[in-house]
Structure 1
Amino acid sequence: MRLALSYRNEKDKEQVAQWFAEQGREQPLFLKLDVTDRARFAAVAQEAFDHFGEVHVLVNNAGVSVFGPTDEATYDDFDWIMGVNFGGVVNGIVSFLPKLKASQGRRHVVNIASMAAFLPGPQAGIYTASKFAVRGLTESLRYNLAPHGIGCSLCCPALTRTNAWTSALKRPDGFGQSGFGEADADELAQFGTAFDAGMDPREVGDKILAGMTAQKALILTHPEHGPDFAEIYEASLAALPDEEAPPERLKIEELRREAMRKAEQGVAMSLGDLT
């Protein structure tokens, strides 16, 4: 693969460029981008397409990891976190999908969410909402892209050795009114020690590439969450009413399941297929 990588911080860009040089690999096409800037995102998509002639893979990965009690959150808290974590994915999709559709060969979209797309937490209400949103969007988008021969995967990593914990220190001035209070650098640094135990990002990347190759709808990278999924499964089944559903509703749900199966096989479905 030849890479186009977006960045915001010049120092981060320099470090990445140095790594590629040390590895003897071709330098990526570096594109400065704030993922909430729709006009710039559109320009970046066109620049990448013009540079390479085609675009085959889109990975939406940018996000901010900011925590605090949801009941005290302000509009700025919601707008910033949702704008980056969900809005950034939306902007990537709207900007790049026409380029993927105009290209040939194997093509794929990977949206990076988080295990928070399945596991909420008391300090992560907005972050969780953003990741649930990415999950729902991606699982639905997969059916829309199949008829175009474009694969689509949702990736939900858990703890990874990154500097994501510094997000709260990079809050834009335009979203300065936070209900979470001013970020405490020392407290965040202590929280950041947990990331030192995280999975190597290269291992996460290798697992994403393997999942893409296998055309997996869901790519899970961390094995330690089996108990969580078992609890979700058992709680979900237990919450279902113990009663018979009427035949007419059963028919509608079977039509929905059949439409999903056909869509995954590449058949374009419409609302008429659901009744």
Structure 2
Amino acid sequence: MELNGAQFREQWAGRVAFITGAATGIGLGVAQAFADAGMKLALSYRNEDDRAKAAAWFAEKGHEAPLWLKLDVTDRARFAAVADEVEAHFGAVHVLVNNAGVSVFGPTDEASYDDYDWIMGVNFGGVVNGIVSFLPKIKAADGRRHVTNVSSMAAFLPGPQAGIYTASKFAVRGLTESLRYNLAPHGIGCSLCCPALTRTNAWTSAMKRPDGFGESGFPDVPPEALEQFGTAFEEGMDPYEVGAKILRGMTQQDGLILTHPEHGPDFEEAHEKIMAALPVEEAPAGRLHIEELRRKAMRDAEAGLVIRLDDLT
């Protein structure tokens, strides 16, 4: 998918975006699509070689060099410092894309505390840290602004080898869908993106386990088995296409951005199971009234009204 950057420049040119995990994979694809739309970029990275390779793309395209910031998204103090650096460099921050994550799998019934702390700390905690660090600065800016949290199709589709990973992505989904209602009164858009198989090196996450999370309950996976698993990613979508679809979804103010078309059967099956699980019986009038108030509050919040507790009763 080639992005016609010109169609987005009117709304996004000159906007300042901060993207986590932007030296490779989906994060880099998002950064490239944003650059083609004329946005100014601040990008976080972990590996110097990855940063150098990514920087070369922007130079070859003639784009303004991004502001590169080394960041472990679980480091709250560093995240706060990065937010200040971005604001000091550009003067304002308009867009936040929480993308950084780890793809680590194993049987959930054998997981250790360290497995939970590492995966949840990066995949959910990193999003929380981005929101807490950057939202005050985005609220203080004006014009077109947006927050996009990159989750995964795992936010909808659990699997036997992805329990903690799935939990982290479900958590990002729930947080983002609620945050959208809070940001609407400030004129800030908010999107949840749930990509599926993408041509990245995400499968190598298990090889990069930090020393502080050494006690894994997952059985060891031979390198050759992990490499075989990695071959599936070669069939994945190009990261730039994911980035272009994210930019299009942001422009359209889509709350949910789904990038891969192949999951229709999964959603149909999930819908059928949910509807079949509902009891076939009358609900009392009082409960029906409360649920109608909830639905009205959601519509009002999306329209930009501030919702308080007394609006729900």
Q: TM-score range by the shorter chain?
A: over 0.9
Give the AA of the match of 2:125.
G
Equivalent in the alignment of 1:258: 296
**Mapped pair 1:96 → 2:134:** yes
Counterpart secondary structure, 1:211 = helix
How far is 1:121 from its partner? 0.1
Match for residue 130 of structure 1 among 157, 164, 168: 168
**Mapped pair 1:28 → 2:59:** no
How far is 1:183 from its partner? 4.2
> CA-to-partner distance for each residue in 1:67-114, whole Å, 9 max, x for gaps?
000000000000000000000000000000001001010100000000
Match for residue 205 of structure 2 among 164, 167, 175: 167
How far is 1:188 from its partner? 1.1
How far is 1:26 from its partner? 1.0
Structure 2 distance, partners of 1:185, 1:11, is 22
How far is 1:155 from its partner? 0.1
**Mapped pair 1:149 → 2:187:** yes
How far is 1:216 from its partner? 0.3
Counterpart secondary structure, 1:153 = strand
Give the AA of the match of 2:79.
F
How far is 1:252 from its partner? 0.1
Structure 1 distance, partners of 2:141, 2:133, is 14
Match for residue 157 of structure 2 among 119, 122, 127: 119
Give the AA of the match of 1:197.
E
Q: Is the CA contact 1:169–1:185 (under 8 Å) kept in the aligned structure 2?
A: no
**Mapped pair 1:105 → 2:143:** yes
Give the AA of the match of 1:274.
L
122-131 or 174-183: which moved more? 174-183
Structure 1 distance, partners of 2:208, 2:218, is 14
Match for residue 114 of structure 2 among 76, 94, 105: 76
Give the AA of the match of 1:236.
I
Q: Is the CA contact 1:160–1:201 (under 8 Å) kept in the aligned structure 2?
A: yes
Counterpart secondary structure, 2:176 = helix
Q: Is the CA contact 1:146–1:266 (under 8 Å) kept in the aligned structure 2?
A: yes
Q: Is the CA contact 1:111–1:153 (under 8 Å) kept in the aligned structure 2?
A: yes
Structure 2 distance, partners of 1:22, 1:184, is 39
How far is 1:62 from its partner? 0.3
Give the AA of the match of 2:258.
L
Structure 2 distance, partners of 1:185, 1:105, is 49
1:235-274 matched pairs, under 5 angstroms:
235-274=273-312
Equivalent in the alignment of 2:26: none
Give the AA of the match of 2:305.
V
Q: Is the CA contact 1:168–1:183 (under 8 Å) kept in the aligned structure 2?
A: no
Structure 2 distance, partners of 1:148, 1:22, is 37
How far is 1:184 from its partner? 2.6
In structure 1, stretches of 5+ residues that fail to align are none
Give the AA of the match of 1:253.
E
* Matched residue count: 275
Using structure 1 for the length normalisation, give the TM-score.
0.99
CA RMSD of aligned residues (A): 0.6
Q: Is the CA contact 1:68–1:124 (under 8 Å) kept in the aligned structure 2?
A: yes
Give the AA of the match of 1:45.
A
> CA-to-partner distance for each residue in 1:209-267, whole Å, 9 max, x for gaps?
00000000000000000000001111100000000000000000000000000000000
Q: Is the CA contact 1:49–1:99 (under 8 Å) kept in the aligned structure 2?
A: yes
Equivalent in the alignment of 1:86: 124
Q: Is the CA contact 1:169–1:183 (under 8 Å) kept in the aligned structure 2?
A: no
How far is 1:65 from its partner? 0.2
Equivalent in the alignment of 2:254: 216
In structure 2, stretches of 5+ residues that fail to align are 1-38
Q: Is the CA contact 1:60–1:92 (under 8 Å) kept in the aligned structure 2?
A: yes
How far is 1:181 from its partner? 2.8
Give the AA of the match of 2:270.
I
Structure 1 distance, partners of 2:100, 2:232, is 20
Structure 2 distance, partners of 1:179, 1:57, is 38
Counterpart secondary structure, 1:267 = coil
- Could you tell me the percent identity over the aligned residues? 78
Counterpart secondary structure, 1:219 = strand
Match for residue 187 of structure 1 among 225, 233, 243: 225
